[in-house]
Amino acid sequence: SRPYLAHPSQGIPHDLDIMYELWRVPRYNMRNKFIASAGILDLISQLPEGEAKASMEAQCDRIKKWYEQLAAQYHAEKAENPNNTMAFN
């Protein structure tokens, strides 16, 4: 699963809209002549059950929670920041 599909409220669908408007494709091609990419969550799900898999799932959960907090802060503050200067201050 891809996080941007599970959490559209985080604003990432806007990036997908841009990609579609520029190239008329709904998503990037994960394998092409320049790159071969994979989703980390998909790779972790394929691991055998055990300590390594559990550790990686826990790390993904921590990252997801942190990202959700940052996304919530961004969306809460963006109305007061029409020039989107948060990243540069």
Residue 21: its pLDDT value, please? 83
Q: What is the mean pLDDT of residues 3-31?
A: 68
- The model's pLDDT over 43-72, given as tens digits with 9 standing for 90+, comes to 999 999 999 999 999 999 999 999 999 888
pTM above 0.85, yes or no: no
- Rounded mean pLDDT of the chain? 79
Q: Which of 3-7, 31-35, 65-69, 79-83 has the lowest mean pLDDT?
A: 3-7
39/11 Cα distance (integer angstroms): 19
The DSSP-derived string for 7-75 is: -GGGSHHHHHHHHHHHHS-SS--SBSSS-B---HHHHHHTSPSSHHHHHHHHHHHHHHHHHHHHHHHHH
pLDDT at 25: 75
